[in-house]
Every structure is written in C-alpha cells, then in structure tokens.
Structure 1
Amino acid sequence: LAPVIREQPSSIIARRNDPATLNCAASGAARITWYRDGQEVLTSSQDTRSHRVLLPSGSLFFLRVSSGRRDSDAGTYWCVASNSYGSTRSENATLTIAYLSYEFQSHPEPIVKARIGVTIELPCKAPKGTPKPEIQWLRKGLELSNSTRVYVSSEGDLIIKSVVLDDSGSYICRATNIAGSRETRPTEVIIMIPPWLEKKPSNVTTASGAMVELICRAQGSPMPTVTWRKLDGIMPLGRATIEDQRLILEHVTAADSGVYSCEVQNEAGVATAEATLTVVDAPELMQRPQDVQVMAGKAAELSCIVEGDPPPLLLWRLPTQDRTALLTPAQQSGHVSISQDGQALHLEAAATQDSGIYYCWGVSRGGGISAQAEVIVVEAYPPPVIGIGPKDLKLITGSIATFPCEVVSEYATPSITWWYRPAAHLPARQLAQGIDVRVSLSPTGALVIKDVREDDAGIYTCRVSAETGNVEQVAILRVSKEATEPLAGALSLPAPPSKPQIMFVNETSVILKWLPNSQITTHFRQRYMVEYWRQGWDEWRVADSVMMKESCIVKNLMPGNIYSFLVRAVTKNGTSFPSPWSDPVTVRSPRDPSLTMDQVRHARRRLLRPTVTLTEATAIGPNSVLLKWKFLATAHEAVEGVLVYTVANDSGVKVATVLGSSSSLHHLHNLEPSTGYTFFIVPFWRSVEGTPSNSYSLTTPEDTPMISPSDIHAMLRDDSSILITWSTLSTKEARGKVTGYRVTLTHNGTATTEAVSNPWLEVHGLALGRLYTVRVAAETTAGLGPYSAPVLIDFGSSNAQGHQDTSEETMTDPSIIYAPVQPDWLVYLLIPLVILFFVATIIYIRRLHNKSTASNPPQTVAHYQDPSVYPSHHSINMYSEQKLWHPEECEKEYGFSSSRLLHTDHQVNEYAEPGSQHANETTEPYATTALLAPASPHFAHGSPWHHKRKNNAMQINWEALLPPPPASPPPCDRDLGDPTYHGTPQSSHRGNGVLLHNEISESAHGRRPSDAPSDHSYDAYTQATPNNCRDHFLTFNSVLNHDTCKINAEDQTKTDTDIPINNTT
C-alpha cells in the first residue's frame, strides 16, 4: 500500500537564525522527501554544508533559519512519503521568517501640551513587521490599562479624555512581535492650568509723595507671567518696579492717577484685572490765620485758606474745653459764623469770653492740616508810650534847645502837642508851628527852640493824645548867661532790647524773656526796666526797674486780666527807647498746670508732623462703623491717645477718646442709618492736640423705617372701589430711600396685602355694607417698617370715610392690635352696662354727701380777718421761705380783688387754716378745699371751681375726691411778703426749719438775699511800693525822677501760684 501521512506539516513563523522544525510523519516504511516552492530541499545528508537536517521521523529541522537573499528558508513547504507501492504528498506549510522594522510609521511629538479638561490623542503606528506588532503604551515606565477615560484606539493611538493634572508625565509607545519590540522616544505630556488671580489689585487712594503697592498674585500651570500696564497714560518707568508680581510706585504724583491693568498669561490662557489709583494732594495751607486783638463789641474775622485735590473739608475749633465745638462751612453758633466755603470765621460783637485759640482744620483723603490763631478781645487798647521824652536842660542864651518826644502807639495814631508855662503856678499855653520863628516842631515830635533867651526858661510838656489814651512828659529849661555842659544826647542812649516773649503764665504771674540789642558794648553796664499795662489803666506802670539779666518774673497780677509788657534798657546815660510790645496775655491757670510752656511747645512741635493715618472705614451695620488706623514709626513717644471725630453731613459732631498708641481700631455706635459721615483722627499728648489725620467719608447703610406712614385717607371712587392715600416719609424717618409700601386690607379676619410703589392704592371689588380696616407700612432696601394703626373704613355709607386712631396710646404702644369688627349683639350688651354704671355712680355720690352732711354741721359765715389783728393765724409759713399768700402781690397783679379770699356764700369749713402754732411745732398741710378759689368777677361764665352751698342741693366733699396738696405749692411769679409789714426789713433767722413771721427778709418785698450789696469790698488793684514811692504807682516818668527801686507789680491777698524754676532765667 502507498504510505499514509500521519502528521501534516504546519505553517510556522521563525525568527532569523533561530532553529525551526517542519513536522511530517507517514505510516509504513516510506522515504520522506521535502519540497520548497516545487524544488527538493537539500538536506545535510545530501550536502554537508546544508543547515537543513532531515530527522528520522521525517521532520525537517532547520539549524538556523536563514533569510538571505540568495539562500532564504522562507517559502511553502510540503513533504512526500514514497515506497515501492507509491508516494503520498502532504499538505502545504509555510515557513515565514519573522521581522520587525526599526522605524514607527507614526509617533507622538516629544512634548505635548494641553489645557486641563480637554481631550488629547497621542498617535502611534507600529513599525512594519511580521507578524503584525502589538501596541502598548507606557506612562512613567508602567503600562497603561484601558478605561473609559484613557484607552488605546485600534490604530494604536492613545486617547485621554478630560485630562487632569495627574495625566502629566512621560509617555512611550511600544510595538512588539516575536521578532522583538520597538519603542518610540518618550513624549512629555504637560497639562496646563489657565492662569487665575489669587489676589486681585484693589483701588488705592493715597496722598502725593507716598509709595503705592499694587498686588496681583496669580496662579496657573505653568506659572504665568505678570505684565503691568497703565491704560490711560504713561507708566512712570523711573519710579515703577515689579517685585514678586507686585507693582511698586514710589513718590506718586497726581499724574500717576489712572487705571492700572494686571495681565497674567501662560500657554493655557490669559487673565486680567484692573485697579484705579487715585493720588490726592494733601491739603495745603495757602493762608494762615493771624492773631487778632479786637475791641469788645467789635467784629473780627479769621481767614484760613486751604487747598487740595480733592477739596478738603474745613472745620473750625472754638476755644472751649468742649471738643465737639466744631463748626463746618455755613454753620453758626451764637455770634460765631462760618462762611459758605469755610475759609473765614466771622465773630460778631466780640465779647471777652470769646478770647482764646481758634483752630482751623483741613482734612481730606490726602491728609490733614492744622493752623491756629489767638483772638484776644479787650475792652481797651494800651495807651501810647513816650519812647524818648524830653529831659531837663540848662543852656546859655543864644544856644539851641531840643526837647525830643518820640512816641510809640501800636493801636492808634497819636498826636503830639507842646505846652509851655513859665512857672508851675501859671497857666500853660500851646506851642504851635509858626507862632514864633524860633520855635519849630520836627516830624518826630521834637521841639526845637533856636536862639534861646532868658524868657524861654520854664516848664515844657509833651502831651500825646490818641484814641487809646493820653500821656505826657515834662522837662524844665533853665537859661543863664554862664556856660554849662549839656546832658548826654539821644545818640548816646542804649539801644532797645528785643520784643519780650511770654515763657510761662499762671493765675498771678508771668515769666518774660528777651534778648539784648546787638549794638550793646561791653563797657556799658546795662540794666533793664519792665513796664506793663492792664485793661482799665490810663498809663503804663513799672513792674521791675532793677534787673541785670534778660528775664523777669512779674508777680501779683490780677487773674483773668489781659496784660501787655515792654522792656527798656537802662545805662548811666539814660533809658532806651521801649522794646516792641509783647503779645497780649491773659493771666489764668494753664490747661494742664503740670506742664511747663517748654514741654507744651515741644509737644506741639512733635505733633505738628503727621502722626497717624486713617487706613480704613467700614460700615458694619446701619448704626455702626469700624475705623482702623496706624501710627507712624516716630509716633509712639509723642502720642498718648487719639480723638476720633465723627462729622455728620448735617453738621453734627461726635468725639470719642481712645487712649494708648498701641490701639489701632475703634468701633463707632449709635450712628444714623443712611447718613453721610466724615471721620478723621486727631492725636494728642496730655492737653496738647496735634494735626488731624486724613479723612474717610462714607454713607451708612439703610435701615428699616422707624415709623409708619400717617394721614391715611380713603375716598369713594365708585360703588365698588375706593382710593386710599397716605403721607410719605422723609429720608430721616424712613432711614433710607422708600422703595415701596405694603397695604393690608382686612375684612372679618381676612387680610389682603398689596405692594405698591406710590403713596396711594385704588382698591376694587369691595362690597357695600361692610367694614374694612387698612394698615400701611413703608419699605426700604433694608426691609419693611412698622404698620400704621388700623384705619376703619365704612363702605356702607354713601361716602366712604376713613379715620386713623392717632392717639398716643395707639401710636406708641406696640401691644395694641386691631380687633376685627364684633357682632351686633355686643352693642346691645354694652348699652345696659353703661347705664348701670351711671346709676351706680349717682348712688355712690349721694351716700358720700349724706355722710359729709352728718359729720359737718352748719356753721356761721366767717369773714376775712386782718393778720395784724390775729397774728396767730399767720405765725407759720408752711410751704417755703418768704412765699406767703398776700392779695396785694399775686392777686392784684392779675386784677383780682382781695375780697375773693372768702365770699359770704362760702362756709368757713370750705377753707382750712392752720391753728395757732409755735415755731418748734410740726406744721400740718392745708386741707384740700383750701386749694379751691371762688369764681372771679372778671369771668362772666364763672370759675370751674365755684360752687354754692344750698340746703336742698347735693353737697360734694371735695376732700374725699381730690388728692392732697403738694408739699411745696408752686410760687407766684415773684416772691411775696407779709402785706401788713411795711417796716424796715429785719434779718432772717431760722430755727428747726421754720421761718418766724417777724423775721421776714428783704426778699419778701421783691428782693432776693443775693441782690443785697456785699459787706466785703475788694480793691481792683493794689501796689506795693518802696518807702520812697508810696504816694502813687510807679510810671516811667516817676522812675526818671526817683532813684531806681525794685517793686512787684501788684499785691493781693491771693497766694501766688508757684513758678517753675526751670522757666526762670
């Protein structure tokens, strides 16, 4: 039999140079022969160089698969089994040599960037190869598994949907078959996050010259870059820097104001934010108020011009301890008023109590500024002072006599006249220009006499007249034929010192200090003399005439008076021209006696600089605002606390004190809703206040209305509708802007509410014969206010009428609620109850009358008795001192007759009088009936108190009905005394709180004890003078005629306030 193929060869794929076997087996003793592509395969048994081996089983074994072009093992193989009986061919089998190319047909880019949330696709087409390679994707070295979001397409592409940040990383595409594997270059996938602003720049308002920092903090992936732009101008490149995404502008000016844009950008997108920079100019003082001295009753004005951008708010602080005494533009307080622009303060009819320091404050968002001026209201100005007066001369005939008379008058223009008299007992005559050619008057006021004769000898007087006072000085001219040496001339007099400065002031003393004149020389021994003047004096007086130093303590001054001082230098040649007058000073206790003037000046200099800055003002409710501020670095030593000023738009001012320089915020309460306020801060140290800070202005949020609409009316429109109207609320009442109204219409417990925007509502569909109630409430953005009291509308009448219960109880008691209309049976029940109550009242009154008649038998008529005849009836005044009832005082003033005290138709028991008592007995009050007076004949209709007693009439016991009288009845319009007493007033003595009738003071006749002149007398001014100066006060003229003496200014019984030693030089 022919052989049978028991094992068919199978197609195989083999890698090059790898061994491979093609199986083939046949039954019977057969010979196996292999063919490839129709040609017999040479095996090693046929060719020893062949790498193909025929195995005993008939299989073809390849030692190594060859894939060369000349000798390739690839092809179609089959085996043939043959014997003597024939041959059998197997099925074909293919030997394929596996391979894999090195190059991918497509692969992803090395870097792939994608925004978060999008879908990305990484392409990958495997290299050519046999068998077909399989595709795998690796991320960070790990194989990716397919999911609904991440998977590999049939073509080998990697698809990632809705990428997230975790999808970032390195991706590799791998192609694999039995010939090997190939990988693409790593692809870096970057998931980008679009930029977003973590912190946006905010609007900034600052003063010029400050440093501004605009913050723009951005985030994103990759980290975005920040670009700053100025949208409406040029960026100040020289003063602008960017640090850590922040824009820093140094020394900003008004030109830097504008809109600044922060642009952040990365590959995923762009984000922008804008902020407005407003550079405001700090208030600048263009005109400072000047110190003013004004006569009492005259007008004065202080001018304070402050400019800035924005325009500052000007405020004037009055000289009072009340820190809320601030006046805003167009405001008036008494006779002090402010101009419309706030730049001028007008003081009409000035009084002495208006004296003091007035502060001008200018505040804005850019800062604050302060200026001050002192107003001194005087009742008189100092009189003129003769600076260089005439001196006694002794001349020979034919010479020239010169009498100087130089005058100082700072408040009025003086006029100088010269008078001559030959002797003291002879009358004086005026010397005028032109009467004698030898006599002339110089422009400086000097009298010059040429060619002196013996009859020119006499007394020459320089008289100075001015509106502020008069002064004169006398010199004697002696003429002889013998030669004599003249006195020193004016050129050899010392130069005047500087203006004296006030170093310290208290109730009775002043410390003065001045500087010597620069013309002083060392060979002159110079002393000083101080003169002073007080209101009410006609001349200047010498306070101290012997001083070697340039300082002086003037003691024993009168408290509350205004003084002026001047200083003269004194040498052996004479007295200098007076110094400039000092500033007027009022001697009084300082605001803080523990501080010296040097400490006050030092504190003012420290607080003059900006010390505190208001950084934030936030409304946290309709009635409260939170303020925040910060102190400058140098402020901690100079600040003891701050004054928080709250100025409302209606000019109301509130002040809160916050102690400590470590405090940086304050919570303001009890503010008005929907009201504009301006806030600023003033630092202080002890009693010294500094420059105000910058200001913040805001309007508090609205609140619900505080009251309900009133004046509610209803008008009939037709048979089924009415028109309801009501009055609107003011902004203050509504605490905001009214946005609408809620109207509730109620009938028989069923309520309907309508919302309207106008103050009226037309209601339709009403039924006749029904009662309706209407309530109205106003509404703002903050909410609904209270409802009004219910208004009852009777729609059954021809004209519907509504009325509102506006009684105080209804309007103010929140517990009152309108009750629905009750049924008719309630009316029938109330009528009998009212009648029953009326009958019961009548029966009760009759019973009271019967009891009164039984207990009070008829009495005879009593007549008015003169208290002088019956003194025991008026021995005690039971109400108060000197307040007795007398007809000629209070009664007669109103035209009432004294006979009104008791009428014949009154019983004596209607008037209760106190019985005879002694001074040490306890008094009892009058009975109630004593308060009732009979009808006045001046009233035709009679008095409501008038009642007649008839036997058949019902008698009312008023004592049982009326309350008891007050412990101290109200007095008449003036104090009344005893009408029978017309003698000399006696002194009043008291014992056990009772005033005796014979001890009435003058107040019984219209004079109070305080009106009587005091027994004490106080001299307005007393002077302690040395032994040689006791006749009168020392003046400059008297000093010239006496030896120099040291005196005190005034001598009082009051103890002087201690002068600080460190202020005495």
Structure 2
Amino acid sequence: MAADSKGLLIAMLMISTWTAYAAKYRVIPKSTAVLLGGTITMKCAYDELTPADTVVWLGPPNFKLIATGKAVNPRFQRYAITGDHSKGEFNLAIREARLRDEGNYKCSTFGVDEAEGLAELTVVEPVPAPPDIDGGDGPVIHGHSILLSCVSYGGHPLPRLEWYNGTRLVQSIRPSEQWQMEDMVAKLSIRRVSRWENGVNYTCKADQGFPDLVKPVASSRVLDIQYPPEVFIPRPSIFVKEGDLANLTCLVDGNPTSTVTWRKLDHHHSLAGAERGNHLILHKVSRYDAGVYQCTADNGIPPVDVGTVTLKVRYPPWIDPSMKQTITVQYDNDGFSLDCLAEGNPKPHIRWRRKNTNLYWDNPLRFNRVDYGVEGTYECVATNEGFPEVSKETKIDVIGLPHLLGQDLAEVLTVQSGGTARLGCRIVADPLPGRISWIWRSKQGIENTLHDGLNGISINDKITEQEMSSALTVKHVDIGRAGTYICQASNIFGPVKRNIQLEVEESRTSLFIIIIATTASALALMATMAFGCVLKKRRVTRKQRKPTVHGVSASRPMPPVPKYIHATSTIDSGVEDLELHELDRALKPHPPSRGRDDKEWKPCPLDVTSAILHSRTSTSGWRGQHPAFDYV
C-alpha cells in the first residue's frame, strides 16, 4: 500500500514538474461498459509527446497507479498497455472483466488538464431471470382496485423497472445510489378498474440500461375484469321484403357471457321466430310483423341492458299515374320544373333520366332555361332496396322562336379573289320555319334576294325532324361580291337572322401589277412636268437675252411647245394650266445670258404635291372599276 502511494506521489510530482511541456490529447478516454468476463479496451492517445514525457493510467479503487508508460503494475495481471507508442497511443486493455474492475479511470501525462482523461467503466452482470409479477391473477369485479407488484432479482447494475399498459409507459422506477439490496421491486396500483382494463396486458420490464450488452427482460399479466352487459345493435332498422326471412341481431359486450332474450313491444302474441342467442330469426315475415323488437342481456352482474330493433316490411315503389304523358314548354322559359310522385317502403329514391341514356337528375327535374336541346322523352325512375326499378315516361315538347346554332362562330369571312365562299346557317325550331332565305347587302347598302343557280350561287337546304340547315356557295368571288350576307327564317313565334360579313382580298399578283402601274404613271407625270418647267425657263431667258458680244454665238432656238401645255388640252388641261400658273409666280428675274459657255442653270421649283394630285385625278376612272383599292 505504501509503495502504491509512493508511486502515485512520484507520478503527480513528475506531472507538475513538466507542465511547461504541454502534450495534447488526440484521443480522450470515454466512459464505457463491459459484460462480466469480457474484454474491454479504453483508448488514450496524445500529440506532441516528448521522449521525456510519461503517460500514466490510474484506476479503481481510489485512482491507484496501474501503468507508467508501457509498464503495468504487477498487481494488475489482467491489464495491458496497447497501441503504437511511437504515435502517442497508450490504450488500457482489461480482459476477463470482474465487478471490482468497475470504477473511474484516468489517462494522464505532463501538462494536461487533470479534469480531462477521466472515464468510467461499468461491469454488467445480466439479470438472471425475468421479473416476477404478483397480483391480478384472478377475476376482479369492475369498480374495484388492483395492486400489481414486480420483483427483479440479481444483476449488476440493478435494473430500472418499467410498467407498460400495452405499449404505453405508465410507471418507471430507477434504483437509487443508496440501494443496497440485491433485487428491485416496483408496485403498480390500478384504482377502480373498468371494462376497458379487461384483457389488457400489463408488462413489467427490467432494463439495465446497456442494450448493446444485455437485452431487457419482461413479464406480463393479463387482467380479467368482470363487468355488466352492454347491448349494441348493429342495424337498428331492418328492411325485409314480404315473404322473406328476417334476422334481428343484438350484440352484447359483457364478462362473463350474457344470456339474451327477445320480445316484441306493444304486442301480446308469442314470437313466430326462433330465439338463437344474439339473433332472432323470423321466417316468411308479413307486413304485420313490422314493429319494434327488444332484446335483454343478463350475465349476473347488475344491471341488465336492453336494445331495440325496428323491423320494416318493404313493398315495391308505385308512381302516380296522373302524371301527363306530354308536357309542352315554350322556348327560353326560365325556371321550369317537373315533379314525380311515388310511394314505397322504404321510401323510394326518385330520379329522372333521359330515355335511352344513363344521364340522371334529381327529382324534381329542373331547367334553369329551356332550349330546344331540352326536348325529348324523360323517364321518372323510382327505386328502393330489394325491388326492380319502376319508371314512367313523359315527353317534353319545346315550342317557340327559331334558334340559330353556332352563334359563337366567326361572323366575318375573308376569301381570296377568284376563290369560293361557303356560308351556312343551322336552325332548330318547333314548328320549323317554311324555309331559310338568303339576302345579300352590297357595300353600297343595296339588298338583293339570292336564288339557287343564279350568278354562280348555289343553295343547298336540308330538313330533319326538328332542324333545318342551308349552305350558300359563291364561286369565283370578286370584289363586287363583297358585302353582308343575311340568312333569315321565321315561324309563328317570330323571325331570326344572322349577318355574315364577306371580305374579298385581291391576289398578290394583281396587287403587284396595280402598284407598279400606279408608280410608273406617277413617275412619268413628274418627268413631264419637269420638262415643261425647263421649257418655261428657256422662254423667259430668251426674252431677256441681248445681242451676242465678244464673239459668243446666240442660243439655239427653242423647240416647239408640246400640245399638252396649250390651252386646248383635253381631260387634264385645267390641272396643267394651274401648274404652269404656279410656276410663273415662282420664277425670279435672271441676268442676261453670258453665252453658251457662261450659262448658269437655275433650279426650277416643282410642286410634287400637285403632281401626285394630278395623278389621282387622272386615274379616277380606273379606280372606280377596282373599289377594293384605296390610295392615299
């Protein structure tokens, strides 16, 4: 003992002396556990160890010196220092672990914090057997209390005892540090038990807290709680077709098993069926068997309980025959409805469907707005459980103003010049109009009635029971066929019509030729006016010219004036006279000519706007033949 204390003192003195050399932990020992008789290694490693540094292991009891460096105290024969010491690894290995090996261990060297390197080792001895449960092993009347005791014997460390109700934790008891006994006891008190505790599995589990080394062990107790009967009726109301068998069911929850008896309320004769515990069987029931039946359950634990079943005898549905076979409704009527009256037991489900379809509507049959699509034959269908459906037909006849189909289609049709225009109208009505007529309104507002076979027009009419259609075809369309095409029809309730605007586009080739011709005409006119301006200027210059001096020859004579600038011009004379008049006002006086080589030409103002205006006026007759073009 003195030698151990001396070694510890020397180690501590060495550590305090060499604190200037601060080695650092690379691996700090961690608390761990080992199974009794097993092997455990507690790891410890340092960085920056010097050859003069010494690593020591201290352990229980009271931090005895176990090893210095690689050397192990001879008293610890089952201990060894392992690892690569050149890398600072000094691991403590313990084999054949015993309970006395349990405690706190410390791996230390010079300069490290004394609070570090401390680890606890726990030696686990498994609990030898599952815990014992005392109490709750016999029947218990509901409302009484039960005390369950759970005892766990042996094991190290002592286990934690836990009570579970099924999978729900209800109590947990841990051993205290002062616990000196070799077993653990956990008591569970259940006050005023009820039917809900019957058959419940209460489990006591002993857990030592080291699931990787030893699994928890457990014992269970299933409670037997006796309680009075409680009746449950799965089908409080039963429908049975007359002549069939009726099975009335009364389910009972009670412990012990109950005896069930049946009787019919407000009835004095005996039951025609046979009593079979929870079931009452009635053969070939009639409508007179309908009523309320009561079952009574008794298991000897008061109070008894009762339940009732209502038996209803069914018969097939029946539709009121006074419903009309045909109903006339006016087109565009709002809020129209049709009601179907039917009886049956149980109360029949009444629906409407369109004949020969699977489309169903609730009763009454409602239409927010009546159109011709509503017209048809409808069936009132009444069904109830156990019987074939019953139906009755009613025809809805819609009459009123004609209605144009496809009103959401485009009302403007554009066709290439030379192409074919196809226009159509579809009308539903009751009664049907006599015919569909077509009217063409030109862009000048002139209206003409169109007929089949005239001017490249064909009209094809089709008539069905409630619909008529008309297809208008216009071949070889030109600009003159543009305008508004009107299809119209009427019956005794009034007329209806549709306007379709037909736009005709010139082909690209024709448009290109017209543009070239217009541009060429404008350029020719501008060239002609420029030439006239030059002639006018030379005439003014000749009047102002003096005799030639210094041997300069006289100017060449002026050419004759073209006919188109004389006052006797034909269709365009007025415009050209106006242009020459404007030129006269724009000219300014010029000095005398200085000879041919000294001549200086002056700019002649040209009114381009007048030229363009002239071009428009001269082509007005051509433009009237092609109204699809509009020039600006």
Identify whether the pair has TM-score above 0.5, normalized to the shorter chain: no
Q: Which has the higher strand share?
A: 2
Higher helix share: 2
TMscore range, shorter length: under 0.3
The structure showing larger relative contact order (alpha-carbon pairs under 8 Å, at least 6 residues apart) is 2
TM-score w.r.t. structure 2 length?
0.26
Return the TM-score normalized by structure 1: 0.17
